[in-house]
Structure 1
Amino acid sequence: MTVDELLAPSDVLVGLRAATKNALLEDLARRAAAALGIGPDAILPALARREHLGSTGIGDGIALPHARLEAVSRPYGILARLREPIDFEAVDDNPVDLVFLLLLPAPARHEPLNALACVARRLRDPETAAALRGARDAAALYAAVTGG
């Protein structure tokens, strides 16, 4: 699985503003719900349950909020570069400025684990992270994360 199988160019956001982690998750849940044609009330509680288990802030300014949902038939992602970093309770206590929301099908299959590992590996690559932070617009951000 590759990032371009999880992410459409239209689901890349540059300069997103969020005051808090909860506000960011609400915004991303609303956007994902609109794109997938499902209710945001199904997405946000699932994201909150996952965050309750431990922050999905994986360090180095990166967060990978994710959840499994019955209403999702294939992995779906949104990539956002925040205008200002926010506290995400990350494992290294550093604020987050790169966020990749990943929604996965609820029935456990290998595909969702591969999707999460694929995104984590790509974003944790120092060259990719630098390119994402330096991208001037959504098209450049998409190219940086997909390697295109």
Structure 2
Amino acid sequence: MDIGELLADDGVVLRGGASSKRQALHVVADVAAETLGLTTERVLEALLEREALGSTGLGSGVAVPHARVPGLARVTGVFVRLDTPVAYGSVDDQPVDLMFALFAPPAAGAEHLRALAAVSRALRSSEMRERLRQAHTADAIRALFVRDTAPAAA
């Protein structure tokens, strides 16, 4: 799965301003709402409902919050890099600064799971995480996901 194709137009944001997990999720919800044509409240509610089931913090400063949201046509993602990592309840108790959020239509079961697996696999790479942290622009981050995660040619 090409992660670059999952990223919404204008769905890559480098910004700070979050001092808690909830605020970080609110930043993600703002970005997603703008790119998906939804309300921030609707997106945040979906993220918080999913987060109540268990933390989406994978460790090594990475979280992959995700939610099913009615009204979407396909699985779509947004990427947010926080300037200051926030406590997130991750499996390793490390604060999070890299957040790749996925949003799926309610009926996109297998597609949603494939997207989660692809994003998680890509963000397990310490080299990829370092490149994401060093990138200076949204375009540079988008290019990393396209270049480093595109399927190999057959």
TM-score (norm 1): 0.92
Matches within 5 A, 1:24-43: 24-43=24-43
Matched, 1:80 2:52: no
Pairs aligned (count): 148
Does structure 1 retain, via aligned residues, the 8 Å contact 2:13–2:31?
A: no
Q: Which stretch shifts more, 22-31 or 93-102? A: 22-31
Q: Which stretch shifts more, 114-123 or 6-15? A: 6-15
Letter of the aligned partner of 1:127 in structure 2? E
Aligned residue in 1 for 2:152:
none
Report the alpha carbon displacement of residue 36 of structure 1 after superposing the two structures with TM: 1.4
Does structure 1 retain, via aligned residues, the 8 Å contact 2:79–2:100?
A: yes
Q: Which stretch shifts more, 132-141 or 80-89? A: 132-141
Report the alpha carbon displacement of residue 147 of structure 1 after superposing the two structures with TM: 1.8
Does structure 1 retain, via aligned residues, the 8 Å contact 2:63–2:98?
A: yes
User: In 2, Cα distance between the equivalents of 1:9 and 1:137?
Assistant: 14
Matched, 1:131 2:131: yes
Does structure 2 retain, via aligned residues, the 8 Å contact 1:29–1:40?
A: yes
Identical residues among aligned pairs (%): 43
SS at match of 2:10: helix
Aligned residue in 1 for 2:118:
118
User: In 1, Cα distance between the equivalents of 2:9 and 2:37?
Assistant: 18
Aligned residue in 1 for 2:91:
91
Aligned residue in 1 for 2:143:
143
CA deviation vs aligned residue, 1:4-39 (integer Å, no higher than 9, x gap): 111146211123321111111112212211221122
Report the alpha carbon displacement of residue 140 of structure 1 after superposing the two structures with TM: 1.5
CA deviation vs aligned residue, 1:56-81 (integer Å, no higher than 9, x gap): 00000000000011121111111111
Gaps of 5+ in 1: none
Gaps of 5+ in 2: 149-154
The Cα RMSD (Å) is 1.5
Q: Which stretch shifts more, 132-141 or 75-84? A: 132-141
User: In 2, Cα distance between the equivalents of 1:116 and 1:55?
Assistant: 14
